[in-house]
Amino acid sequence: MRVIGIDPAPVKGLQVFDGGDHKVALPDSRSFVQRLWEHDDVLICWDAPLTGPSTTVVQGGEAAGSAFSQRAIESFFSRAATGFKTPPGISVRGYSGCPHWALSRSLIGLPKTGPFDVADIPFKLAQDELPRPTRGRHVAEVHPAVALWLWCRNARDGADSWDYKKSPGVLMELWSLLLDIPDVAQVLAPVRHQPPTSDDEFDARIAYALGTLWLRDRDCVVLMGDAGRGMFLVPKSEELLEAFEAFNP
Which of these ranges, 26-40, 51-65, 126-140, 168-182, has the smallest mean pLDDT?
A: 51-65
Model confidence pLDDT, tens digit, residues 80-121: 999 999 999 999 999 989 988 889 999 999 999 999 987 889
- Asked if pLDDT for residue 127 goes beyond 90, the answer is yes
- Asked if pLDDT for residue 1 goes beyond 90, the answer is yes
- Asked if pLDDT for residue 157 goes beyond 90, the answer is no
- Asked if pLDDT for residue 198 goes beyond 90, the answer is yes
Rounded distance between C-alpha atoms, residue 182 and residue 247, angstroms: 31
Range 68-82 average pLDDT: 95
The pLDDT assigned to 218 comes to 84
The pLDDT assigned to 181 comes to 97
The pLDDT assigned to 118 comes to 79
Contact 53, 63 (CB under 8 A): yes
The pLDDT assigned to 174 comes to 97
Model confidence pLDDT, tens digit, residues 13-25: 999 999 999 999 9
**Cis link prior to 131 (omega < 30° from 0)?**
yes
Rounded distance between C-alpha atoms, residue 132 and residue 129, angstroms: 6
Model confidence pLDDT, tens digit, residues 166-181: 999 999 999 999 999 9
